[in-house]
Amino acid sequence: MSLDLIVDARSNGIWLALLRDGKLIELHQEEGNTDFAVGDIYLGKVRKIVPSLNAAFVDVGYEKDAFLHYLDLGPQFASLNKFTKDTIHKKQNVADLQYFKIEKEIPKDGKMEKIISSSQPILVQVAKEPISSKGPRLCAEITLAGRYLVLVPFSDKISISQKIKSQKERDRLKSLLDSIKPKNFGVIIRTVAENKKVEDIDQDLKNLIEKWKTMFDNLKVSDPPKRVLGEIDKTSSILRDLLNADFANIYVNSGELADDVKSFVSDIAPERSKIVKHYDGKIDIFEKFGISKQIKTLFGKKSSISKRRLFDH
């Protein structure tokens, strides 16, 4: 089995096709405007609290206010809120949480109006992208996803993917993360971490800590609404999540984007960077690899595929 990723850069965005042995198994569209993508972190401002919904509307700079439900605040919201306020007011001078005092967890059945107030700045993450007349759906349980790990600030818990069945491997990974993770940062160990080398997992953790520092540096000088950390684009997120020995080729029809993809692959898997190739043929890249024909078969000649589509694989 071999996987090929075909990247078609167009004027209105990027189309991504994932092929398994030449058969289309995933199709994604990444629109030109990548603001308010899932995973983006914003310093927003609470606009309105709605007790009947136990929720709040938050201004993150989108034309419609974003929606934040109490259950999406996360148990560690008091710690996040304190960190945000202290950073804005120059009381928190480092991104490191070693000496940060973790606050008590908020109650699971609490009320939004008792936790936050109108007009306050609030650090939030996009959980669902805006659609039609609705603004983004938010959460305040900030996480940073890497190739092997997910970093969870204001926690010390180590969780391991249930898909890793070997108890010996689970013990190895837990022991490793116990020894290298910083204080007051929890981690979720992803399935792809199974049997990976210590240095690979350690580097992934360092990359995530660096992203947290970048977010902190941006937060220090931001006024709401402002994006303080952008999630990687769809091309990179697919590579981060799926790149393995089964990937044979990544073809990109834009020289500039091909360089970016090669750089990203070099960072997460240096030995695989040679599989990234710039396609500059005269035939449309989706035609060249038989993707257009497969799309027509799946959707019908008159069907529109303007919306992103994901196939089971």
**Closest among 132, 140, 133, 114 to 58, alpha carbons compared:** 140
The arithmetic mean of pLDDT across residues 13-38, rounded, is 81
- pLDDT at position 277: 94
Check: CB of residue 40 under 8 Å from CB of residue 138.
no
pLDDT attached to residue 234: 63
Q: Which residue would you say has higher pLDDT here, 3 or 189?
A: 189
User: Is pLDDT above 60 for 306?
Assistant: no
- If one compares 165 and 31, the residue with the highest pLDDT of the two is 165
Measured between alpha carbons, how far is 45 from 122 in angstroms, rounded to an integer? 6
> Which of 195, 229, 263 is the last residue before a domain boundary?
229
Q: Count CA within 13 A, CB hemisphere, residue 103.
A: 15
> Is residue 255 located within the same domain as residue 295?
yes
**Tens digit of each residue's pLDDT (9 = 90 or more) over 66-103:** 999 999 999 999 999 999 999 999 999 999 999 999 99
User: What pTM does this model have?
Assistant: 0.74
Asked if the structure places residue 292 within a domain, the reply is: yes
Residue 135 sits in a domain whose CATH number is 2.40.50.140
Looking at the structure, tell me whether residues 114 and 148 fall in a common domain: no
Do the domain assignments include residue 112? Answer: yes
pLDDT by residue (tens digit) across 254-275? 888 888 788 778 877 778 889 9
Task: Give the CATH number, domain containing residue 275.
Answer: 3.30.420.40
CA distance 282 to 116: 57
Q: What pLDDT score does 14 carry?
A: 83
Q: Are residues 116 and 239 in the same domain?
A: no
Angle at 195 between CA 194 and CA 199, to 5 degrees: 105
Task: Quote the domain boundaries for residue 174.
Answer: 144-206
Q: What is the number of domains present in the chain? A: 3
- 46 and 136 belong to one structural domain: yes
Task: Quote the CA–CA distance of 67 and 81 in Å, as a whole number.
Answer: 17
Q: pLDDT at position 110, please?
A: 96
Pairing assessment for the beta strands 55-59 and 66-69 based on DSSP bridges: antiparallel
> Cis omega before residue 270 (within 30°)?
no
pLDDT for the residue 34: 57
pLDDT, tens digit, 9 for 90 and up, residues 219-234? 999 999 999 998 666 6
Structure tokens at 153: 């600030």
- Average pLDDT of the chain is 88
